[in-house]
Structure 1
Amino acid sequence: MNRTVLLMIGSLILLAVTFAALIGGGGSGRNPAEFSSSGGASLNRQPLMVYCAASNRAVMEAIREQYEREYETPIEIQYGPSQTLISSIEVTGVGDLFLPADDSFLAIGREKSLIAETVPISLMQAVVAIRKGNPKSIESFDDLLRDDVRLVLANPETAAVGKVVRQVLDAEDRWSPLEQAAIAYRATVTEVASDLAVGAADAGIVYDAVLHTYPDLNYIELPELLAASSRVAIGVIASTKQPTAALHFARYVSSPDRGLKQYEKHGFRTSGGDAWSDRPELSIFAGSMLRPAIDETITEFEQREGVIVNRVYNGCGILVAQMKAGQHPDAYFACDNEFMNQVHDLFPHPIPVSQNELVILVPKGNPKNIASLKDLAREGLRVGIGHEKQCAMGWITQNTFREGGVQTEIMPNVTVQTPTGDMLVNQLQTGSLDAAVAYLSNAAGASEFLDAVQIRGIECSVATQPWAVSKDSRYPNLAGRLFERIRSMPSQEAFAAEGFRWQVDQAE
């Protein structure tokens, strides 16, 4: 029986063991009711089931102990090769979180609709593990190919490090000679390290962080492996019955105040992460016209994440003035690029999300027969527009008037300038105005009372709405997940229903 068949049989056996463990009560073998910081009952807190790559076992055990002590919530962890674990998730549909050794497995999970949210954690680098003192004098890639060096590798079909190393070396035509030089393949990276620790091998390719628990082993970094690194992230399983609890634990694991401290102690390369809070409060500034398109999505996000999102809706000119005066939200959703550019120092990486068209709003049936901007200059007409300095709508309106060559003629008829389009809609409905220049989205909720007249031939009458996260946000990952929710298909449908055109997928 050849090695490939043996590996396949081994993987199937491990999958069967995993399934049996889940059916029998999870990977920890402990009664959830026994967990609490005081040694008593866990106050009816439900256990969380985590699938975790073997490479993260030591650090996850430390985090598990810390989290259970702090929150009296039992964490049950099933360890194994990343590929086998994702197969278990697909077959059983059981579990709350998945932490593979490389986030490519989370991407696979998302493609199969197995994973919902993902939260970044750290980096691991592929290195050559050797015994202390380097008795075989291994210093280069070619040394791994020597006949007197017993080389052990992680199986690329099951272990993340094997998969990543094969991808990198294949590109340089170096995988084939390395594969031929190996005396054995192991299902997990920790098994490779264990072979070296007991003297069954002279060298093996592992993640640097794995060697934290092997005091008799050292490692060397090779130029050929510098591109072979893995981003570690944790994903919420889409079928979880307790997403809020799962996200709470994911935030805990990825916070520099909590879980990342353990990751650093265990040799992982960490950076960034959200500040820890049991219930974080995220602050969002957004143009008033965006409220109908995003408010319900934000509320749903709050409920799922178990967080608070404080939002401030107003004219973008007013919001920019508040930010320049020192109020710095975690994220800003502007009505137009111009009002994002004015605070570029706070939000350096904006992403265009949608577009909104400037139109002429008139009472139903268009009793004044207004067909173009020029008609707004007719004597005696009462016209409302946005305030140029208080909102993007007003700024774009003035640009549109100028480009259309009608600014001087229309402005004498302007009887009101407001910071939001909603105010103009209200005045149209009460009969205080004959026409208003506002966004198409402003008419979406009043279509039975108002008609919209398109402004033709003027490019600047279209506004682009960008989103950005503050460079100083304490919760950049949380804000990023909110943006993912805003980009979701249900959210896109909400934008379309409010008169917006979607743009973000074309921009990236």
Structure 2
Amino acid sequence: MRAAKFVSLLAGLLLLGLLVPAGCGKGQDQAGQAANSKAGNPAGYSLLVYSGAGLKSPVEEIGAAFQAQTGIKLTYTFGGAAQLNNQILLSKQGDVYLPGDTAELKPVQEKNLVAWEKNVVYHIPVLAVPKGNPAGIHKLADLGRPGVKVALGDSQATPLGKLADQLLKEHGLLDTVNKNVVVRTPTANELVVYLSTKQADAAVIWEENYQGAKDKLELLPLPELKDYVKTVPVAVLDCSQEKEPARQLAEFFTSPAAYQIWQKWGYKPVDR
């Protein structure tokens, strides 16, 4: 009787031993199939894109074209360069980054978080005023006249603010104009709002920002700004868990199809 029980127990153990490897093997096979399915099906990917707030319109339109072509889902975080850099450095999450200037990549590069980068379009600064130029501004020195309300970008948060301060400093006007500054904004879009609502008489904005507000603003020729053109880069972040599709998206931002969209929004492609 004991022998029979022993044989029965042994048979059960042997059967269990056969089933366990089979079960593990099946799980590994399913995991492998899932991985292969994702690799062969880009629609399974989702990418997080960081972008300067002033680039929002073309970035979203180009992203929509990319998503329609590949099935890869995109989500976005828009903001000033300082805000985006802090978020990337703290979270170490995300896939693709488009700041307003190549210099804004430096904090991320110093932490070895840039895996690949390429220049995309030029950011051209211009002096804008409300339609009709009510304050009668015609040259850079006019920004320092008593009573003129000036709006500038935050020099600690955006390339636009940094270049405006540098421009004014080099022409000996920074202290004088600062007395007339009514607001410092973290994004170029907010400067357009101040001009459009006539809360400011003048502001240094990007040329493309003017494209969406032509009915409310006008541009003034300012030769001094020609030396302050910036370059927008696109970078694949080293913290990305999906570097291949991230690189695919980054390269799409410099494709002929994307450049048609960039140009529609007033951006000029870099020389290639």
Equivalent residues of 1:285, 1:332 under 8 A apart: yes
**How far has the Cα of 1:400 moved from its partner?**
1.8
Distance 1:483 1:372 in 2: 39
| Alpha-carbon offset, residue 454 of structure 1 | 3.4
Give 2:210's aligned amino acid.
A
Report the Cα distance in structure 1 between the residues aligned to 2:107 and 2:221, rounded to whole angstroms.
29
Bigger helix fraction: 2
What is aligned with 1:472? 239
Q: Give unmatched runs, 5+ long, in structure 2.
A: 1-28
Match of 1:329 in 2: 94
**Distance (whole Å) between structure 1 residues aligned to residue 222 and residue 61 of structure 2:** 30
Give, as a single letter, the amino acid of the residue that structure 2 aligns with 1:316: A
Residue 53 of structure 2, aligned match among 288, 293, 296:
288
Asked whether 1:319 is paired with 2:75, we answer no
Following TM superposition, by how much is the alpha carbon of 1:368 offset from its aligned partner in structure 2, in angstroms? 2.2
Given candidates 44, 56, 71, the residue that maps to 1:306 is 71
Conserved? CA contact 1:317–1:392, under 8 Å:
no
- Matched residue type, 2:252: R
| Aligned match for 2:150, one of 380, 383, 400 | 383
Letter in 1 for 2:158: C
Work out whether residues 236 and 250 of structure 2, in 8 Å CA contact, stay in contact via their aligned partners in 1: no
Alpha carbons 2:43, 2:70 under 8 Å: kept: no
Q: Which residue of the other structure, out of 31, 36, 39, is the alignment partner of 1:252?
A: 39
Higher relative contact order (CA 8 A, sep 6+): 2
Match of 1:223 in 2: none
For residues 50-82 of structure 1, what are the alpha-carbon distances to aligned partners after superposition, in whole Å with 9 as ceiling and x for unaligned?
Answer: xxxxxxxxxxxxxxxx89x958xxxxxxxxxxx
Partner of 1:36: none
Q: Does 1:451 align with 2:238?
A: no
Q: Find the aligned partners of 2:97 and 2:214 in 1 and give their Cα distance.
A: 29
Once the two structures are superposed, what CA deviation does each residue of 1:117-155 show, in whole Å capped at 9, x if it has no partner? xxxxxxxxxxxxxxxxxxxxxxxxxxxxxxxxxxxxxxx
What is the deviation of 1:381? 0.6
Q: 2:43 and 2:265 mapped to 1: Cα distance? A: 35
Distance in 2 separating the partners of 1:483 and 1:460: 27
Q: Deviations over 1:323-379 (max 9, x none)?
A: 222343211111011111121121154211111111111111223232222111111
Match of 1:340 in 2: 105
Match of residue 432 from structure 1: 199
Q: TM-score of the superposition, structure 1-length normalised?
A: 0.44
Q: Would the aligned equivalents of 1:396 and 1:463 in 2 still touch at CA under 8 Å? A: no
Distance 1:251 1:486, change over 3 A: farther
Counterpart of 1:358, as a letter, is: P
Identity %: 26
CA distance, structure 1, for counterparts of residue 139 and residue 107 of structure 2: 31
Whether the aligned pair in 2 keeps the contact of 1:297 and 1:491 (CA below 8 Å) is yes
CA distance in 2, matches of 1:499, 1:484: 20
Structure 1 contact 444–497 (Cα < 8 Å) conserved: no
Distance 1:443 1:277 in 2: 37
Describe the SS at the equivalent of 2:132: coil
Root mean square deviation of aligned Cα = 2.5
How far off its partner does 1:249 sit? 7.7
The correspondence of residues 59-458 of structure 1 with structure 2, limited to 5 A, is 252-253=39-40, 279-344=44-109, 345-458=112-225
Q: How far apart in 2 are the matches of 1:313 and 1:434?
A: 27
Per the TM alignment, residue 387 of structure 1 is displaced from its structure 2 partner at its CA by 0.7
1:250, 1:301 → 2: CA distance?
20
Mean CA deviation greater in 420-429 or 488-497:
488-497
Deviations 1:282-306 (A, max 9, x none): 1111101111222111022223322
1:91 corresponds in structure 2 to none
1:318–1:391 CA contact under 8 A, matched in 2? no
1:485 to 237, 252, 272: 252
Offset of residue 446 of structure 1:
0.5
- The amino acid of 1:384's aligned partner reads A
Structure-2 residue corresponding to 1:272: none
- Structure 1 counterpart SS, 2:100: coil
Matched with 2:23 is none
Looking at structure 2, the residues matched to 481 and 363 of structure 1 have their Cα atoms a distance apart, in angstroms, of 41
* TM-score, structure 2 normalization: 0.80
The CA deviation at 1:315 is: 0.8
The list of structure 1 runs, each at least 4 consecutive aligned residues, that deviate by more than 6 angstroms after superposition, is: none
Asked whether the equivalents of residues 404 and 458 of structure 1 are also in contact (C-alpha less than 8 Å), the reply is no
Q: CA distance change for structure 1 residues 390 and 302 in 2, over 3 Å: closer, same or farther?
A: same
Amino acid at match of 1:343: V
2:127 alignment partner AA: I
**Partner Cα distance (1:334, 1:395) in 2:** 14
Separation in 2, partners of 1:403, 1:386: 17
Amino acid aligned to 1:398: D
Letter of the 2:186 counterpart: P
1:82 aligned partner: none
Q: How much has 1:384 moved relative to structure 2?
A: 0.5
* Change in CA separation of 1:448 and 1:361 when aligned onto 2, cut-off 3 Å: same
